[in-house]
């Protein structure tokens, strides 16, 4: 039997393989999309023939391709080209400059959208914009989503959404109004985020060809950051199969540069049983291939179990029928051997859910079925023991890097020391992996998440955790590679640079293991390979990068800004005052204080506008 043809050899690298039996290498060979040899020049180079592509890596650090176990990619890809990103922008002045530029090039009736991925705490000014957006965009609708706690709309966006003095507050939401009863442009989740994404859903959408192009650009952005696989957690307004057509068409055309495992997310309260009964008849877990495959249910299983992660608000109590609702769905999933994931921010929610899981497990064994909680910021050791006993897992994300200051304001520094207790989760033997929860709650940059795992610091610089909750760089990287394969039922298939596994890797711009901690957030890939194919190249590998057409439409922010902002040199922070002519009766011109204060739920209506805070008055 002839030996397989070696299509590519990568040599002279510093490979961190995540394979404990062979942790380091200098040279690898790739054939048919898989690693065929992992070693050094002496053991690998003799496999080459005249057709083998040999690439010298110049002693750069090489890691397995990063895997994000919780990303809302399929929803995000449809809109990526329309969104102006403020991710990691160091000052509000810089962010507003980008907004002004984008307003000037955006034609009617299109909107300018900043859809999450940032926090006011990252800005040197420590505040959100107020009236500036009306001055910058008097006629173009502007929608700014800040985490899942609020949205800021200018007057043009209020008109486009049809919000006026007669628009009632939706359940769990507040449309702030001024002394005249007119909407100010501030929408607050109390804590239900439906008010935020229902407003966003009123904006124009891209046509089919543009959505294809948008998806390709978002994949390229992920590849630039070294990401080769994602597990899609579904999302509101993400209907199956309609909203999956773009990604499925790209898969059929063999144009995916990310591996995507997708979970299905129920879309309407009261119809959860119908959704999962239907879906379990037409799909089986694992349907698809190594690039696009079904991964089960979640993260929303039943609406009555939703606990929104707005730490400015008190944690929500579960509805009285939550356990019954959840049991009905989990029985369907367990009977069909569907893996599932459940959004659960608070320990109280986890306790209720575990009551259900333990009850169902007594009738229908969970053995061998991968199930897990997402988030779990306040999970206790008692519930970790229950999760371990049932063979479950926890997928953690760096939401506290964006919301840590708000959590501390409400619950105190001591309570924040275990949010989540990821080192303790590891010690207790629970399956754990890492991700971002991008693109709305947090940003999609994996290096910011890795920085948070290692340092425990927020984007605003607050140290949240004692050393007893921090982990090493190697452990953090393992959570973002090998450990995440458990969450997509792909153990041993990817996540390591190991013979027989998918040839997915990233060659880094600097040495992750040697650079100072604060420089980890600036890392990118200079060469990304998925299934043995080069999908991104930069610096000395720029000539190897596949071509990509310009973003569509031509006014897309993706054509003018470089995605996630990376600080490559000393950045001159622009200072900005509020730029408004109104002095708030509570905060004067120091409007940032209004946004940084935790306001009790009962005080929201009185605090914003009329006789209270007028920091946001259109």
**Tens digits of per-residue pLDDT, 233-259?**
999 889 999 999 999 999 999 999 999
Is 0.85 topped by the overall pTM?
Answer: yes
- pLDDT of 600 reads 47
**E strand or H helix that includes residue 75:** helix 73-79
Both ends of the chain: CA-CA distance in Å? 75
432 three-state secondary structure: strand
- pLDDT of 240 reads 95
The residues, ordered by sequence, that sit 6+ positions from 607 with a Cβ below 8 Å of its Cβ are: 599, 613
Residue stretches of the chain with pLDDT short of 70: 1-2, 568-618
Between CA 212 and CA 214 the distance in angstroms is: 5
- pLDDT of 571 reads 39
* Environment class of 353 (CB within 10 Å of its CB; exposed 0-12, middle 13-18, buried 19+): buried
Give the HSE-up count for residue 230: Cα atoms under 13 Å, Cβ half-sphere.
Answer: 30
Overall size of the chain counted in residues: 618
- pLDDT of 583 reads 54
Between CA 5 and CA 150 the distance in angstroms is: 55
Does residue 226 contact residue 506 with C-beta atoms inside 8 Å? yes
The residue with tokens 């499925």 is 248
Between CA 182 and CA 166 the distance in angstroms is: 8
Q: Which long-range contacts (CB under 8 A, 24 or more apart) does 313-319 make?
A: 313/149, 313/189, 313/190, 313/191, 313/601, 314/410, 314/600, 314/601, 315/345, 315/346, 315/348, 316/191, 317/348, 318/348, 318/349, 318/352
Does residue 226 contact residue 508 with C-beta atoms inside 8 Å? yes
Between CA 207 and CA 81 the distance in angstroms is: 12
């Amino acid at each position: 039997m002839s030996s397989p043809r070696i299509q590519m050899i990568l040599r002279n690298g510093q490979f961190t393989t995540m394979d404990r039996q062979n942790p380091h290498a200098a040279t690898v060979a790739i054939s048919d999309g898989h690693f065929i040899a992992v070693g050094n020049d002496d053991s690998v180079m003799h496999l080459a023939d005249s057709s083998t592509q040999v690439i010298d890596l110049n002693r750069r650090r090489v890691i397995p391709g990063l895997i994000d176990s919780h990303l809302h990619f399929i929803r995000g890809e449809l809109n990526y080209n329309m969104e102006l990103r403020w991710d990691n922008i160091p000052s509000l002045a810089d962010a507003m400059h980008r907004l002004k530029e984008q307003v000037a090039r955006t034609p009617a009736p299109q909107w300018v959208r900043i859809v999450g991925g940032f926090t006011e705490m990252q800005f040197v000014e420590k505040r959100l914009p107020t009236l500036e957006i009306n001055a910058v965009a008097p006629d173009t609708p502007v929608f700014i989503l800040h985490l899942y706690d609020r949205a800021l709309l200018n007057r043009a966006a209020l008109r486009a959404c049809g919000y006026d003095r007669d628009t009632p507050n939706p359940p769990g939401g507040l449309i702030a109004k001024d002394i005249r009863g007119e909407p100010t442009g501030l929408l607050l989740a109390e804590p239900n985020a439906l008010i935020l994404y229902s407003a966003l859903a009123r904006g124009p959408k891209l046509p089919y060809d543009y959505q294809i192009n948008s998806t390709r650009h978002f994949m390229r952005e992920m590849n630039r950051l070294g990401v080769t696989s994602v597990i899609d957690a579904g999302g509101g307004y993400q209907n199956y199969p309609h909203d999956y057509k773009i990604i499925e068409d790209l898969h059929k055309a063999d144009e995916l540069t990310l591996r995507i495992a997708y979970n299905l997310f129920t879309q309407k309260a009261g119809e959860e049983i119908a959704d999962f009964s239907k879906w379990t008849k037409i799909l089986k877990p694992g349907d698809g291939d190594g690039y696009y495959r079904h991964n089960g249910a979640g993260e929303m299983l039943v609406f009555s179990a939703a606990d929104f992660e707005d730490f400015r608000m008190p944690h929500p109590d579960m509805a009285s029928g939550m356990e019954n609702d959840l049991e009905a769905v989990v029985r369907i999933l367990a009977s069909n051997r569907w893996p599932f994931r459940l959004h659960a921010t608070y320990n109280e929610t986890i306790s209720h859910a575990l009551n259900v899981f333990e009850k169902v497990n007594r009738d229908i064994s969970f053995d061998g079925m991968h199930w897990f909680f997402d988030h779990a910021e306040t999970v206790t050791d008692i519930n970790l023991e229950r999760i371990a006993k049932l063979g479950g897992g926890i997928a953690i994300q760096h939401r506290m890097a964006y919301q840590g200051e708000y959590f501390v304001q409400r619950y105190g520094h001591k309570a924040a020391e275990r949010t989540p207790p990821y080192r303790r989760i590891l010690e207790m033997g629970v399956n754990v992996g890492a991700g971002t929860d991008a693109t709305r709650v947090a940003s999609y940059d994996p290096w910011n998440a890795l920085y948070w795992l290692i340092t425990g610091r927020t984007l605003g610089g607050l140290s949240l955790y004692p050393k007893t909750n921090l982990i090493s760089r190697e452990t953090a990287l393992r959570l973002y590679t090998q450990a995440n394969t458990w969450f997509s039922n792909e153990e041993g298939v990817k996540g390591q640079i190991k013979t027989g596994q998918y040839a997915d890797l990233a060659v880094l711009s600097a040495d992750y293991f040697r650079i100072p901690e604060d420089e980890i957030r600036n890392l990118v890939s200079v060469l990304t390979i998925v299934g043995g194919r080069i999908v991104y190249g930069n610096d000395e590998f720029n000539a190897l990068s596949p071509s990509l057409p310009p973003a569509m439409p031509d006014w897309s922010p993706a054509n003018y800004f470089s995605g996630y902002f990376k600080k490559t040199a000393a950045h001159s922070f622009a200072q900005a005052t509020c730029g408004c002519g109104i002095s708030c009766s509570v905060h004067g011109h120091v409007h940032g204080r209004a946004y940084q204060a935790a306001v009790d739920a009962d005080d929201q209506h009185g605090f914003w506008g009329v006789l209270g805070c007028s920091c946001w008055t259109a």
